[in-house]
A and B are shown apart, each in its own frame.
Chain A
Amino acid sequence: MDYLNYLRQDKMPHIWCDGCGHGIILKSILRVVDQLGWEKNNIALVSGIGCSGRTPGYVDFNTLHTTHGRAISFATGLKLANPKLHVIVVSGDGDATAIGGNHFIHAARRNLDINLIVFNNNIYGMTGGQCSPTTKTTKKATTTPYGNPDSAFDISKLAEAAGASYVARSTTYHVAKLDKYIKDSFLTKGFSVVEAYSSCPTSYGKMNKETGKTGLQMLMYQKDNTVPLQKAQKMTQAQLEGKFITGVFVEKDKPDYTENYAKVIQTAKQQ
């Protein structure tokens, strides 16, 4: 495939740093769109604010760069007003689960057919490396210079508990799986979440020794510390400490919001 078909080439160079994982996820999205043969006119890519939030600006779809944390709510209005659009939301870990946490869980509960891809780099990249809801306890950020006293969210578990139709997690190292999960999520009716472990060498890598400092080292860190879900189920909590558990957590065929609302319309019209 030719990625250039999908990129707004006049908007290059992009703002992402050398070694940033976000571009890997974008390529994965574009490969899936290409495989599915979706018409560019029928795709809306919606984001909030953050380095991840800049993704829509580079692709030749209908693109909407909203306010910090609120992308899902804009996407909700857009999808309802024009159901023929494939609505994809890309969001950072802070965007999706700190300021946008409320919209995230309610979108999963509502189960409207929107595809969310969370670029989880465990840090606030855009604003210079402050701690995020997925920064693990004791890890460093510019606002946790003595180590993070907070606990981290497991984004996939959160999505599962809130009711999403499809939830899966991969990393920017494991792109074949990432492609598969994104594709399956796009084909699932209802709200889907693909959590993609990304890396921010500029902030996270610089401050936290375990991952290494460069993009490549951080990718290798993902490779060495990933445990597939099936394997993880046989391991103890202690063995899983510091590991990325990847796999498909939820894959359900259940009525989505549109189906339920169609019934509302039917009932309303009969009365």
Chain B
Amino acid sequence: MIIPNKNIKMMQGNIACAEAALAAGCNFFAGYPITPSSEIAEVLSKKLPIIGGNFIQMEDEIAAMGAVIGASLGGAKSLTATSGPGFSLKQENIGFAIMAETPTVIVNVQRGGPSTGLPTLSAQADVMQSRWGTHGDHSIIVICPSSVEETYYMTIKAFNLSEKYRTPVILLTDEIIGHLTEKIEIPDSSKLEIINRIKPDMNQKEYLPYKITDSLVPPMANFGEGYRYHVTGLAHDETGFPTNDPEKTTEMLMRLYNKIEKHRDDIVEVEEYNTDDMDTLIIAYGSTSRSAKRAIVNATKEGYKVGLLSLKTIWPFAEKEIENMAKKVDRIIVPEMNLGQIAHEVEWATRRAKPIIKINHINGEPITPNEILAYIKQGK
């Protein structure tokens, strides 16, 4: 069946990510090859030159992270993509991007770890690294798609949030989603909401690149636009120059934290499924929420009352949403391909008011619908 006026395609998750980056206005990619993320680089190496954008393969992931930050300061919308080992290497410079408030998007197509781990198999074990991988206290935005179509929209969301909040955003996908090929409807580009960084409009003498504004996000000048300012990873004041002053340092670090945490309602995204009449709640994200949904469809047929809260963003954490949902059920199931990184957060968000059943894989094997179904049936 051909649906007129609809751009429907079969597409792989990684390719959808690359296509969406272009739709979001990405004109700079720097990366270093690593399975299972390399398709993103390969597609962009083909497409970026056509639009006059830059694709560059760097000497390692540290350099790639430095390059995307430099490009962002030069006015580009930049992207890098990697997996576990490379994500570890990027951490110091991710902290720099947070501190210097440079928008950029980092894709981590998760694979099994630690170390070289399971290069070709899936995992969700970088949940905490994406939150706390770089040193020092900070907040961060991490987005977690569960389908090819979601990868498309979430990549655009990642660019939009990074520009809006002047901060690096991490798109945390996994090998299953990255390599899954499925149907996707590519939206008309004119219908997409694309957000670009707010530029200063005052004269150069008055410009404070790190000013404390009501929105908590100061306007950003690109290098070469006449605003000559200083960018550093050192603690700095509103002018951007280093300071050790305890008050100014607190003020700046709290603004960086609050610009994300105070806007969590604008950032956090969850999806409910079958939650009207349930006694069991499944909380899942990424590829695992696909299995959870299928398990719920099957369980419902057999008369079980199970709902799903699918986390589309994992940081900031959907604490409020989870706390509210937890009140409606008498138990919570958290399937994830790690040893309970999100389950731990759920326990904390619910103050352990309800029993939490963990389903954990760390061997690269997906958590199947049947496995989740078996847990649903237990004790019911």
Which residues in B have their C-beta under 8 angstroms from that of A81?
A: 28, 54, 70-76, 78
Q: Do residues A85 and B66 form an inter-chain contact, with CB atoms below 8 A?
A: no
List residues 45-81 of chain A with CB under 8 A from any CB of chain B.
Answer: 46, 56-57, 60-67, 70-81
Complex Cα spacing A36 to B377, Å: 78
Q: Which of A192-200, A219-227, A261-269 is the contact stretch? A: A261-269
Which residue of chain A has the shortest Cβ distance to B30 in the bound complex?
Answer: A77
In the complex, whether A183 has a CB less than 8 A from a CB of chain B is no
Q: Which size bracket describes the interface of B in this complex? A: 35 or more
Which residues in B have their C-beta under 8 angstroms from that of A102?
A: 59-60, 63
List residues 211-259 of chain A with CB under 8 A from any CB of chain B.
Answer: none
In the complex, whether B291 has a CB less than 8 A from a CB of chain A is no
Nearest CB of B to A151, in Å:
23
Nearest CB of B to A242, in Å:
33
**Contact code string B67-91 (vs A, CB < 8 Å = 1, else 0):** 1111111111010000000000000
In the complex, whether B355 has a CB less than 8 A from a CB of chain A is no
In the complex, whether B242 has a CB less than 8 A from a CB of chain A is yes
Which residues in B have their C-beta under 8 angstroms from that of A82?
A: 74-75, 222-224
Q: Do residues B234 and A65 form an inter-chain contact, with CB atoms below 8 A?
A: yes
In the complex, whether B172 has a CB less than 8 A from a CB of chain A is no
Complex Cα spacing A79 to B223, Å: 10
Which residue of chain A has the shortest Cβ distance to B223 in the bound complex?
Answer: A62
Which residues in A have their C-beta under 8 angstroms from that of B366?
A: none
In the complex, whether B117 has a CB less than 8 A from a CB of chain A is no
Q: Do residues A78 and B73 form an inter-chain contact, with CB atoms below 8 A?
A: yes
**Contact code string B215-239 (vs A, CB < 8 Å = 1, else 0):** 0000000111110111111100000
Complex Cα spacing A79 to B63, Å: 14
Q: Do residues B62 and A70 form an inter-chain contact, with CB atoms below 8 A?
A: yes
Q: Do residues A78 and B70 form an inter-chain contact, with CB atoms below 8 A?
A: yes
In the complex, whether B118 has a CB less than 8 A from a CB of chain A is no
In the complex, whether A5 has a CB less than 8 A from a CB of chain B is no
Complex Cα spacing A163 to B362, Å: 45
In the complex, whether B52 has a CB less than 8 A from a CB of chain A is yes
In the complex, whether B46 has a CB less than 8 A from a CB of chain A is yes
Which residues in B have their C-beta under 8 angstroms from that of A164?
A: none
Complex Cα spacing A75 to B241, Å: 19
- Among candidates B49, B58, B64, B231, residue contacting A63 with C-beta atoms closer than 8 Å: B231
Complex Cα spacing A117 to B256, Å: 33
In the complex, whether A44 has a CB less than 8 A from a CB of chain B is yes
Q: Do residues A63 and B230 form an inter-chain contact, with CB atoms below 8 A?
A: yes
Which residues in A have their C-beta under 8 angstroms from that of B52?
A: 265
Q: Do residues B56 and A73 form an inter-chain contact, with CB atoms below 8 A?
A: no
In the complex, whether A206 has a CB less than 8 A from a CB of chain B is no
Complex Cα spacing A26 to B33, Å: 38
In the complex, whether B3 has a CB less than 8 A from a CB of chain A is no
In the complex, whether B50 has a CB less than 8 A from a CB of chain A is yes
Complex Cα spacing A32 to B226, Å: 21
Nearest CB of A to B90, in Å:
11
Complex Cα spacing A265 to B74, Å: 20
- Among candidates B58, B92, B224, residue contacting A67 with C-beta atoms closer than 8 Å: B92
Nearest CB of A to B208, in Å:
14
27 contacts between A and B (CB under 8 A): A41-B224, A41-B225, A57-B241, A65-B234, A67-B92, A67-B96, A72-B63, A73-B58, A73-B63, A76-B56, A77-B70, A77-B74, A77-B76, A77-B78, A78-B74, A80-B74, A80-B76, A81-B28, A81-B74, A82-B222, A102-B63, A103-B59, A106-B59, A106-B63, A261-B49, A265-B50, A269-B50
Q: Which residues of B contact A (CB under 8 A)?
A: 28, 30, 46, 49-50, 52, 54, 56, 58-60, 62-76, 78, 92-93, 96, 222-226, 228-234, 241-242
User: Knowing that A41-B224, A70-B66 are A-B contacts, what are 11 other residue pairs whose CB atoms are under 8 Å apart, sorted by A's residue number?
Assistant: A41-B228, A46-B70, A66-B66, A71-B66, A72-B63, A73-B64, A77-B74, A85-B224, A102-B59, A106-B63, A265-B49
Which 6 pairs across A and B sit closest by C-beta, in order of nearness?
Answer: A81-B74, A77-B70, A73-B66, A77-B71, A77-B67, A268-B49
